[in-house]
Structures are given as C-alpha cells and as structure tokens.
C-alpha cells in the first residue's frame, strides 16, 4: 500500500500554505476525554502554533480571530480544558520588561492521556456479572427456587389481567366484599 504525503492528499497549493498535525487518538477519544466541540476547536487553533517541542503561545485574541469564538469564550474553553487536566497554562513574561505576555499551552497532560489509550488493557470481569459475584450470590435454597418461580410467573403474566381466583388465594390481600 502506497503511503501518501500531505501534498499528495491535498495538492501543492493547499500543502504550501501549511498544515496542523492532530493525533488520530485525540479524534477517536473525544467522547472519552469529554472534549466538547468548542474545546476541540480551541485545541486545534492552539496546535496551529505548535511548530517545535516548545509550548505554543497564541493570545486569546489570536485564537478568537482564528476560531470565530469570542475572546471570553476562548478563555472559558481553556479554563475547562485546564480543569479537566488536559492542558497546563504556562505564564510567560517578557525577559526585558518583565511584562506578562500571552500564555503558553503545555499539552503534556493530554499527550499522556492519549498514550494511555495505546497501552494493552487486561480484560476484567464486570462487577455485575452473574458468575462468582457478590452482587448476584448463588443461592441453592428452596426459598430461592420459590422466588425464581414467582418471578417467572410474574414475567409471563406481565400485562395480563389476574384472574379473581388468583387474587383471592393470596393471604396478603384483603378483599372486602359488600
């Protein structure tokens, strides 16, 4: 199977304008990571500025213009991603003036979470499986057999009217006839 380059897939004019790399694991596990559409858009826009191993540092205004979201919405989405433990916000200061510049965004936590999806997992029995489980103890008593029989009858008769003779048989029901 031939492997195609970005230029082969999209053509020279599109490839010459650059591209942003996104891991497929990120796209495959958006739901597991609880990343919403606006958060994903912000991640994608930030990653546009990741050119090396250094943290990207676009401003909220730059991300707002790029994404079409309001600057406040961009900041909210970044706070949500930070709260979920998917990114770290790194405060940058200008070394000459000591003034705060735009924040840097460290994607190491997200990278570690995505790496966890590549690890083989041991399959464990569900805590609710019926075999050897605390939730479903195996009782071989007469009482359990009677309960099972009653359950089966109830499910068989589900939705059907109960004959009056059945109702009168049960001692727990008191029927007052006038």
What CA–CA distances, in Å, run from 138 to 54, 63, 130, 133?
58, 59, 9, 8
pLDDT of residue 4: 83
What residues are paired with 106 via a beta bridge? 88
Check whether 175 has a pLDDT greater than 50: no
Domain presence at residue 89:
yes
Higher-scoring residue by pLDDT: 74, 153: 74
Whichever domain contains 18, its CATH number is 1.10.10.10
Domain presence at residue 73:
yes
Burial (CB < 10 A; 0-12, 13-18, 19+), residue 9, is: exposed
Residue 121: both structure tokens together: 């997992």
pLDDT of residue 109: 94
Check whether 145 has a pLDDT greater than 80: no
- Alpha helices, DSSP H only, in 29-107? 37-47, 60-67, 71-83
Domain presence at residue 112:
yes
Check whether 132 has a pLDDT greater than 60: no
Domain presence at residue 76:
yes
Give pTM, 2 decimals.
Answer: 0.62
Domain presence at residue 163:
no
Domain presence at residue 83:
yes
- Assign 133 a pLDDT band (cuts: 50, 70, 90): very low
* DSSP-based three-state secondary structure for 79: helix
For the chain, the domain total comes to 1
pLDDT of residue 96: 65
Residue 63: both structure tokens together: 């991300």
Domain presence at residue 130:
no
Residue with the two structure tokens 């916000």:
89
102 within 8 A of 89, measured Cβ to Cβ: no
What is the mean predicted confidence (pLDDT) over 85-100? 77
Task: State the residue range of the domain holding 59.
Answer: 6-116
Residue 177: both structure tokens together: 């006839």
pLDDT tens sequence across 12-69: 999 899 888 899 999 999 999 999 999 999 999 999 998 888 888 998 999 999 999 9
What is the mean predicted confidence (pLDDT) over 135-162? 62
- Assign 178 a pLDDT band (cuts: 50, 70, 90): very low
CA atoms within 13 A on the CB side of 123: 0
Burial (CB < 10 A; 0-12, 13-18, 19+), residue 75, is: middle
Higher-scoring residue by pLDDT: 110, 2: 110
Domain presence at residue 53:
yes
């Amino acid at each position: 199977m031939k492997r195609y380059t970005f230029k082969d897939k999209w053509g020279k004019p599109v490839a010459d304008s650059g591209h942003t790399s996104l891991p497929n694991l990120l796209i495959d596990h958006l739901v597991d990571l609880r990343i919403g559409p606006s958060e994903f858009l912000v991640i994608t826009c930030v990653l546009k500025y990741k050119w090396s191993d250094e943290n990207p540092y676009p401003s909220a205004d730059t991300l707002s213009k790029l994404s079409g979201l309001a600057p406040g919405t961009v900041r909210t989405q970044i706070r949500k991603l930070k709260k979920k433990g998917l990114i770290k916000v790194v405060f940058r200061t200008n070394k000459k003036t000591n003034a705060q510049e735009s924040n840097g965004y460290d994607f190491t936590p997200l990278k570690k979470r995505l790496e966890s999806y590549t690890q083989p997992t041991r399959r464990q029995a569900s805590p609710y499986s019926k075999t050897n489980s605390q939730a479903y103890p195996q009782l071989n008593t007469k009482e359990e057999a009677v309960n099972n029989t009653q359950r089966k009858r109830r499910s068989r008769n589900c939705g059907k009217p109960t004959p009056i003779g059945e109702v009168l048989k049960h001692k727990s029901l008191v029927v007052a006839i006038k």
